Amino acid sequence: MSGNTFGHVFRVTTFGESHGGGLGVVVDGCPAGHPFPHARIAEQMARRRPGQGKLTSARQEADAVQVYSGLEPETGLTLGTPIMMMVGNSDARSHHYDDLAALYRPSHADYTYDARYGLRAVAGGGRASARETVGRVAAGTLAEDLLAALHGIEIVAWVAAVGDVVLPAVDEATLTRAQVDASAVRCPEGHVAEDMTAVIEAARKQGDTVGGVVRCVVRGVPAGWGAPVFDKLTADLAKAMMSLPASRGFEVGDGFASTRLRGSQHNDPFVKDERGQVRTVTNHSGGIQGGISNGEAIRLAVAFKPVATIFQPQQTVNRAGEAVTFQARGRHDPCVLPRAVPMVEAMAALVLCDHMLRARLATMDGLRR
Ligand SMILES: Cc1cc2nc3c(=O)[nH]c(=O)nc-3n(C[C@H](O)[C@H](O)[C@H](O)COP(=O)(O)O)c2cc1C
């Protein structure tokens, strides 16, 4: 397996390199008859793209998605056949990467790609570049649109920490993308967003980078999605999030903080609500128990590292193993957190859409039309 495909029923294969002809995705397993969400995909692609201001890489890419297959031309409905989406690369400055063929950037993927394949696409970092996520965000937004249409599901991610600046809490029941996008850093609390911006600006001026945490809530997932052993929702979400470039940690519910609680504090008591629905009073579990959704909001967090490309001299070795000093050039993100927000939303949508379709195949009721 090459590791370019994700999902079981709703399957995506991404393709393309950062400085090649373009990048995209083939989606296989999308149900027929769904109105293709062109506008929604364009919106999420705009939130993902570089060139959004001083906090992101200055590379200018329009990232307009072309759809090559899988839609009925007259109606724009999905045909149930593979959907191929692609964006071109127009602002690649490959000469900035000339030195990199012969040396290994510290904490980037040059050495490990060489170790794995014996060669690599040097310019722009090839598939190690976050440009690979173009295909994920396009496919994830289609998945999100299916989840919204069939179950009214809403997915909202936000920047919850940058360096030492931490957003204490938000109202996860009502938070909207508009509130998240009120600041360029994508933190919904104004004064915290300002502090985060200052930290990113300071890092950028020092030629350095800074990491942080994206949190995400998924509202409206019914009880009963997931699988009990290997393909637990927790496990699939962990794999999805940890497949994002620069991700270094993953939590569901209270995550690592749950280790500081007693069972008596962490347990989520069950009650029946006014509609006779089984609910929990609290949601420390993050909406998943035994690998299966319990009908509460799914709450997760992803930690992103301070990315590798800093504009300071660094010690490394070349392909011959000789010690050299490396000085980066080009356009890079001083902090990837604001752009990671739509990527986390997309990966959550891909996992949940796959499990929505799998849940339908799991029972006789789901199979009856
Ligand atoms: C939105 C986003 C933007 C990124 N931009 C850069 C960048 O400008 N420079 C860089 O060195 N790494 C960047 N990265 C991270 C690299 O793609 C990643 O660190 C590299 O592939 C090595 O993989 P690893 O960090 O997951 O081990 C970015 C990641 C994300 C999510």
Phi first, then psi, for residue 361 (nearest 5°) are -85, -10
pLDDT of residue 128: 87
Distance 210 CA to ligand 1 centre (A): 12
> For residues 308 and 246, what is the distance between their CA atoms, to the nearest angstrom?
9
Q: Which of 52, 59, 108 to mutate to test the pocket of ligand 1 (most atoms within 8 A of CB)?
A: 108
Nearest atom in ligand 1 to 304's CA: 31
Judge whether 239 is annotated as a binding position: no
Identify each DSSP E strand in the chain by its residue range. 5-6, 11-16, 22-28, 66-67, 83-88, 154-162, 165-166, 212-219, 247-252, 270-272, 278-280, 288-289, 292-293, 298-304, 314-317, 323-326
The reply to whether ligand 1 has any atom less than 6 angstroms from the CB of 252 is no
pLDDT at 54 over 80: no
Domain boundaries, the chain: 5-367
Judge whether 109 is annotated as a binding position: no
The reply to whether ligand 1 has any atom less than 6 angstroms from the CB of 18 is no
Distance 72 CA to ligand 1 centre (A): 37
> For residues 250 and 238, what is the distance between their CA atoms, to the nearest angstrom?
6
Question: Residue 248 in contact with residue 304, Cβ under 8 Å?
Answer: yes
pLDDT of residue 98: 67
Judge whether 129 is annotated as a binding position: yes
Judge whether 131 is annotated as a binding position: no
pLDDT of residue 96: 67
Question: Residue 353 in contact with residue 240, Cβ under 8 Å?
Answer: no
Distance 70 CA to ligand 1 centre (A): 31
Name the CATH code of domain 5-367 (choices 3.10.150.10, 3.30.40.10, 3.60.150.10, 3.40.50.720).
3.60.150.10
pLDDT of residue 36: 98
pLDDT 10s digits, 30-49: 999 999 999 999 999 999 98
pLDDT 10s digits, 133-164: 999 999 999 999 999 999 999 999 999 999 99
pLDDT of residue 59: 73
pLDDT 10s digits, 297-321: 999 999 999 999 999 999 999 989 9
Tell me what the mean pLDDT of segment 246-265 comes to.
98
Question: Residue 289 in contact with residue 227, Cβ under 8 Å?
Answer: no
The reply to whether ligand 1 has any atom less than 6 angstroms from the CB of 307 is yes
Question: Residue 266 in contact with residue 284, Cβ under 8 Å?
Answer: yes
Judge whether 11 is annotated as a binding position: no
pLDDT of residue 1: 47
The reply to whether ligand 1 has any atom less than 6 angstroms from the CB of 49 is no
> For residues 302 and 319, what is the distance between their CA atoms, to the nearest angstrom?
33
Of 63 and 251, the structure prediction assigns the larger pLDDT to 251
pLDDT of residue 2: 76
Tell me what the mean pLDDT of segment 107-132 comes to.
88
